[in-house]
Amino acid sequence: MPERHPEDTQTLYSELLTLLLARESGRTWSHLAGTFTTKSVGGRDYLYFQFSDPGGSKRQFAVGPRTRSAHDIVRRYRQERERVLEEDAAIGRLARMLRTAGIAVLPHPVARVLRALADSGVFHLGGVLVGSYAFALIGNALGVRWPGPAWRTHDLDVAGGLELVAPGLQADVPRALDSLAMGFVPVPQLDPRHPSTSFKVRGKTLRVDLLTPGREEDQAPVFLPRFQAAAAPIRYLSLLLAEAQPAAAVDGGATLVRVPDPARFALHKLLISQLRSMAQHTKRTKDLHQAALLLEVLAEERPDDLARAADSFRACGPGVARKVLRALGSTARQHPAAAAGVEALRRTLK
């Protein structure tokens, strides 16, 4: 049974998300913590900016010859950096307050990975966090606390399509993971000719899976140029990724990510529960549980969202509608508290 957060907690979350969105829209190099250094090249002094990536590796780029203009750049950076630090302090303060208030907080290793992916531009370039960690963040956005077993997992799933969101821009996912120095290694495919679509920490359970929309006949991984990595093609994933929305991932601080629309997430869970094999019975049970919890909340507070999402799924053909209706039957039997949401979807899908 979802537990509603107090209005004050929901207000704090809204303030945090607003700050994160404002910081992302105004992001410049002043958001990088670093120092200026001088190098002599060909008898002339040049100014460089040196900073650390998420894993601590040193990187630098040239600012230009050491002239009055370069000194003006340094002055502006320091002024803007003070403003950034004030923003970061406000974000950290709100994150700590939300943590105390009891919202879902991500494990530290997961939060580190998400921060590295966000800093490398993954979510800015259309990446979407999916799976159980997305479900946890959707609960925070809806102002509810899910039961812990409904979202605890060791897998971090990130999805993206082939469409080019920002020409010329890239987010190097393998490099971002490697920079964390957490021991991420590619997980070999059964077919050695295929590139890895997953990365796992040596000796740990944490795993990052990259996904992309695919068709039933698609088997080979799909290389996503803007992520510099391959992703596993997943049937019906495009239905989940449409209308993705921003969310705050909270740990000791907060990171701006993108997650699926809650109603689409619920219907997608219902749909894929019918595609699971017998060996995936535990995952099927979790699919239905997450869908039921969302239906319970959305039927009461956002019924129009359910109807709109159901229309989109029904437009994919009678096969999709039949699978979702079949899953609704199981949901009604196993989770009676979701009855209102189940009936609302049945009316739309039939």
H or E stretch at 96: helix 68-101
Global pTM reads 0.88
pLDDT grade for 330, boundaries at 50, 70 and 90: very high
* Domain coordinates in residue numbering, the chain: 25-99, 261-350
Please write the tens of the pLDDT for every residue from 235-259.
999 999 999 999 999 998 999 999 9
More confident of the two residues 128 and 87: 128
State residue 112's pLDDT score: 93
Please write the tens of the pLDDT for every residue from 131-158.
999 999 999 999 999 988 888 888 999 9
Of 79-83, 117-121, 230-234, the least confident: 79-83
| Separation of CA 29 from chain center | 23
Q: How far apart, in Å, are the Cα atoms of 243 and each of 232, 264, 267?
A: 21, 9, 14
State residue 54's pLDDT score: 57
Q: How far apart, in Å, are the Cα atoms of 268 and each of 30, 272, 289, 291, 324?
A: 40, 6, 13, 8, 8
State residue 39's pLDDT score: 84
State residue 48's pLDDT score: 84
Tell me the C-alpha distance between 189 and 217, whole Å. 18
Checking if the pLDDT of 176 tops 60, the result is yes
Tell me the C-alpha distance between 243 and 162, whole Å. 16
Edge-to-edge strand order for the sheet containing 44-52? 34-41, 44-52, 58-65
More confident of the two residues 80 and 292: 292
**Alpha-carbon torsion, ordered 163, 166, 168, 169, to 10 deg:** -100
Tell me the C-alpha distance between 275 and 281, whole Å. 11
State residue 58's pLDDT score: 72
With contact defined as beta carbons under 8 Å apart, do 16 and 94 qualify?
A: yes
Region 31-37: mean pLDDT is: 76
Checking if the pLDDT of 56 tops 60, the result is no
Region 54-72: mean pLDDT is: 75
pLDDT grade for 312, boundaries at 50, 70 and 90: very high
Question: What percentage of the chain carries pLDDT values higher than 70?
Answer: 95
